[in-house]
Amino acid sequence: MSGPELDKNPGEHGTPLLELSGLRVFYGAIEALKGIDLTVGRGEAVALLGANGAGKSTTLKTVSGMLAPRHGEVRLHGERIDGIASHELVRFGLGHVPEGRRVFARMTVLENLTMGAYRFRRPDPDDLDRVFGLFPRLHERRKQIAGTLSGGEQQMLAIGRALMGKPELLLLDEPSMGLAPLIVEQIFDILREVNEQGTTLLLVEQNASEALQLANRGYVLETGEVVMSGPADTLLADPRIRAAYLGEHVEVD
Amino acid sequence: MTTTETARDVSAAARLRKTSWYQEPRWQRLAALIGVAVVGAQVTGVEGNNRDIFYALKENFTSTGFAVWLAVCVGIWVVREFAQAPVGSAWQSVKESVKAPAGEVQAVWRKQFWLRVGILSGVLVFLIVLPLLVSRHWQQVLVDQIAIYVLLAIGLNVVVGWAGMLDLGFIAFFAIGAYSAAFWTGSLPVDPPMVLNNFAVIPIAVITCLVAGVLLGAPTLRLRGDYLAIVTLGFHEIVYLGAKNWQSFTGGTSGARVERFSIDLGFWSYSWGLDPRPYYWLLLGFIIVLLVLFIRLEHSRVGRAWTAIREDEVAAASNGVDTVRFKLLAFAIGASTSGIAGVIYASKLAYINSEAFIVLFSILVLSYVIFGGMGSLPGVLIGTAVLVWLPEALRDSVPAQDRYMYLGALLVIMMIYRPQGLWPSRRRQRELHMAEEGTAGADALGGTAGGKQV
């Protein structure tokens, strides 16, 4: 796997893995992103935080090719990828765990994972072992129909399916959505492991505390603009963040 | 909340919970069954006449037919309501006793390769000799209806059953195929650049339908479900009205005579004439070749891509499936199958006019596919054969104009009690199973699981 290579390159002095610059995205006349600048270094885990409607998912969808920016650039490995269709981006090493999980409800767990490796002629058994190693639950239920899994298991399956495509950069849209706190913790533990194994993560989250504990860095979006960014622990300690996203009553000037 | 308010709420709830006797399921079922008896007696009884407008009503409600209908329906109700336990357990034991041997048969079927080959070749031999065993009338039915519709249905199954796109304009491609045959054999009012043999028209018709399918599909396949259905319906109307009104090219409703099939290899030649049997064998050949191709496709990467698209387009795309390309491919394969059927149809009847391509036929083919079991080739084959055969078989026993009413009733009953079709694909069975269990993952069905559509 790509783990060892990444360890040689811990800092990010060369080109970042993902770079968004001056990204402006519109839904009709509505400007959803008003010039986003953002970088994700190789091997990092980066969190995008913000309230509903801040533009987090829009950013992610623009990166994964579901939306096209009107202005600005998306670069992966320094190459422009904006305007490339989502299914093509899979070949560039981009994995996407979409919002709401979207597992193939009528396929078995194993069939779902096989679909995840669609870009290869046949799935790599090592990848399958890796996914089953990360998610033993999925191995137990590999013959079960995905639609009958619990929400947490479906989220695991969605992540596992994306990993089957050997992504270098994994985009996650609210992996904690609608899940019990205990399951959320499990999923974030696994994501941490995925990140340590060498996959770069960019995740959108409402659950700021979990996200910032996982991430190296974070960006805070508000109405389509980056209003704050920095190392995760700095953000986690910031009183404004604590007030806005962790529900603490802190006096903010 | 004060106590009086709470009390009022409780009483409101109680009012909502209170049911009158006629709202109880038991009596509602009785009413429904009596309704069935009334309708059944009227439908199967005598016809009305002009002298006495109430003649049919009076006759049919006083006849023994009505008494029989009523007795049967009330009997069903009585058994269902008052003898549920014994009947239920008897049914259960029948199910149990069938299950084990059925499972064994299935296991043997899976394991024994040569047994499968043997049975399949037996079926094949039966299908080949079938027209020798039946009357001339049934030979005609076999060719003009069953075989043609089977060819259409396996083509539509690719579009609807596998790629999950609702296509109501399927017969438009059938028309394009038929008119290609007429045009290239020099049968239309307009002369072709060169006159070809009917067999040589088949690849041309396939290409024409492919091009038409792609032209229609490319701008519209981004649409989903209902929207796509309307677009295909519109496309059908354009093709149909074109055929009907462009008289100088198509011959319109008065039609055009078409050459029949013929082979001339120099040393050996053969012409298909009035005998339906040679057409049957020709069609059977095409059906078998296409079936083999489609079975291979279903189990290939293409088939998996279609399954993924049908389940969830966004997820399919994020796994690297080029959704537009594969939808277009399904559409084009369906269209060209329909085109082949069109060529054979025109060459068999030796005559076409625009009225052979009305939208009803698109809907009939769709209902055959759904009746048999969407996405399941054996289901589609059997479903089409049964549904086409049924009105013909009823020809002698019921008034001719009533035949399609029985077909309609069968479709309604089928969709209520067996919506997955006669021989559903394994995936459809799963879906139904999940719906019955009401499993937690039901929200993941349909792709709107707790999130916005993109």
Rg of chain B over CA atoms, in angstroms? 27
Question: How many whole angstroms separate alpha carbon B343 and alpha carbon B286?
Answer: 12
Closest Cβ–Cβ partner in B320, B437, B449 for A100: B449
Q: Distance between the two ends of chain B, CA-based, in angstroms?
A: 43
- DSSP conformation class of A230: E
| Residue from B318, B428, B437, B454 to probe the interface with A (highest A Cβ count within 10 Å) | B318
- Tokens 């992996």 locate to A175
Whether A98 and chain B come into contact, CB under 8 Å, resolves to: yes
Kindly list the residues from chain A whose CB atom is less than 8 angstroms away from the CB atom of residue B449.
100-102
Question: Residue B423 in contact with residue B376, Cβ under 8 Å?
Answer: yes
With CA atoms as reference, report the closest residue to B305 among B293, B296, B317: B317
Contact B445 A105 (CB under 8 A): yes
Question: Residue B26 in contact with residue B81, Cβ under 8 Å?
Answer: yes
Rg of chain A over CA atoms, in angstroms? 18
Q: Per mean pLDDT, which range of A80-84, B298-302, B439-443 is the poorest?
A: B439-443
Tell me, what's the pLDDT at A26?
92
Residue B172 pairs in a beta bridge with none
- Tokens 């199973």 locate to B433
Kindly list the residues from chain A whose CB atom is less than 8 angstroms away from the CB atom of residue B430.
106, 145
Tell me, what's the pLDDT at B155?
95
What are the pLDDT digits (tens) for B124-138?
Answer: 999 988 888 888 888
More confident residue, B454 or A209: A209
State the pLDDT confidence band at A169, using cuts at 50, 70 and 90. very high
Contact B444 A90 (CB under 8 A): no
Contact A149 B450 (CB under 8 A): no
Whether A104 and chain B come into contact, CB under 8 Å, resolves to: yes
Q: What is the token pair recorded at B159? A: 């579009």
Question: Residue B161 in contact with residue B369, Cβ under 8 Å?
Answer: yes
Closest Cβ–Cβ partner in A86, A150, A151 for B318: A86
Residue B444 reports pLDDT greater than 50: no
Q: How far is A20 from chain B (nearest CA, A)?
A: 20
Tell me, what's the pLDDT at B437?
59
Average pLDDT of span B162-187:
92
Average pLDDT of span A206-228:
91
Q: What is the token pair recorded at B365? A: 């083919």
Q: Kindly give the interhelix angle for B276-298 and B323-349, rounded to the nearest 10 degrees.
A: 170
Q: Please give the ipTM for the structure prediction.
A: 0.85
Whether A90 and chain B come into contact, CB under 8 Å, resolves to: yes
Average pLDDT of span B77-89:
83
Tell me, what's the pLDDT at B272?
83
Tell me, what's the pLDDT at B453?
34
Residue B242 reports pLDDT greater than 90: yes
* This prediction's pTM: 0.83
Tell me, what's the pLDDT at B431?
63
Residue A12 reports pLDDT greater than 80: no
- Percentage of chain B modeled with pLDDT above 70: 92
- Tokens 């009357």 locate to B135
Whether A115 and chain B come into contact, CB under 8 Å, resolves to: yes
Q: How far is B446 from chain A (nearest CA, A)?
A: 8
Q: Please tell me which residue of chain B has the smallest CA distance to A92.
A: B320
CATH superfamily of A15-245: P-loop containing nucleotide triphosphate hydrolases (3.40.50.300)
Interface A-B, measured as beta-carbon pairs within 8 A, has a size of 115
Q: Tell me the domain boundaries of chain A.
A: 15-245
Average pLDDT of span A242-253:
67
**Cβ neighbours around A57 below 10 Å, total:** 23
Kindly list the residues from chain B whose CB atom is less than 8 angstroms away from the CB atom of residue A87.
316-323
Q: Per mean pLDDT, which range of A94-108, B33-47, B197-211, B417-431 is the poorest?
A: B417-431
| Residue from B311, B319, B326, B425 to probe the interface with A (highest A Cβ count within 10 Å) | B319
More confident residue, B400 or B328: B328
Q: What is the token pair recorded at B211? A: 């091009």
At B266, give phi and psi (nearest 5°): 90, -70
What are the pLDDT digits (tens) for B324-344?
Answer: 999 999 999 999 999 999 999
Tell me, what's the pLDDT at A249?
63
Residue A10 reports pLDDT greater than 80: no
Contact A87 B318 (CB under 8 A): yes
Question: How many whole angstroms separate alpha carbon B136 and alpha carbon B364?
Answer: 25
- DSSP conformation class of B192: P
Contact B319 A115 (CB under 8 A): yes
State the pLDDT confidence band at B381, using cuts at 50, 70 and 90. very high
Residue A179 reports pLDDT greater than 80: yes
Tell me, what's the pLDDT at B450?
34
Closest Cβ–Cβ partner in B304, B445, B448 for A147: B445
Q: Distance between the two ends of chain A, CA-based, in angstroms?
A: 48
